[in-house]
Amino acid sequence: MNIHQHGLNRSLVIHFRKRFPDARVDLKFDGYTFPKERPLILFERMLNEFTILSKQREGVGTTYRFQVGLFANNSVELSILEEELSRAFLFDEIDYYETMTDGEPFVCGKFKCLVTDVTPIYSDDITDKSEYHRVYFDIEIESLLRKRRG
């Protein structure tokens, strides 16, 4: 299974929409407008890292990184969803959807996430209630890319 960015993006959104049916789950993109709807789980791509694993570049390790924002209605909802989201990142096996085909995306494997940080963010402006009750997760997904022959 060769993981690629588009497949990861789609797989994460599909999995977390199923896992958290009462929350809105989105992938941030250029021009994205934050909805007022809460709870919101928002995936945002971060810098990827590549590691050469062999002299001939036969294998390259790739670390895909995301920052995941959780925006809740109140502090109780935030703490409950933060715990559930942490457990999902720590323990769920996520279906990987192959999206680089002419047909419909299909499941061709599974992957796990690694949580590297959880950061609560407090509002600097008490009048801006849209900045209340949020926490960010930094997650990584490891993959090994093999050189194609021929």
Looking at every residue in the chain, the average pLDDT score rounds to 88
- The answer to whether the CB of 138 falls within 8 A of the CB of 117 is yes
The pLDDT > 90 percentage for the chain reads 65
Quote the number of domains for the chain.
Answer: 1
125 against 58, higher pLDDT: 58
Residue 119 sits in a domain whose CATH number is 3.30.2000.10
Report d(CA 81, CA 86) in Å as an integer.
8
The confidence band for 107, taking pLDDT boundaries of 50, 70 and 90, is very high
Enclosing domain of residue 52: 5-146
Q: For residue 143, what pLDDT is reported?
A: 84
What SS3 state is found at 149? Answer: coil
Q: What is the pLDDT of residue 149?
A: 59
Reported as a single tens digit per residue, the pLDDT across 46-99 is: 988 777 766 676 777 889 999 999 999 999 999 999 999 999 999 999 999 988
Q: How confident is the model at residue 144 (pLDDT cuts 50, 70, 90)?
A: confident
- Count Cβ neighbours within 10 Å for each residue of 40-67 and write b for 16 or more, e otherwise: bbbbeeeeeeeeeeeeeeeeeebebbbb
pTM of the model: 0.86
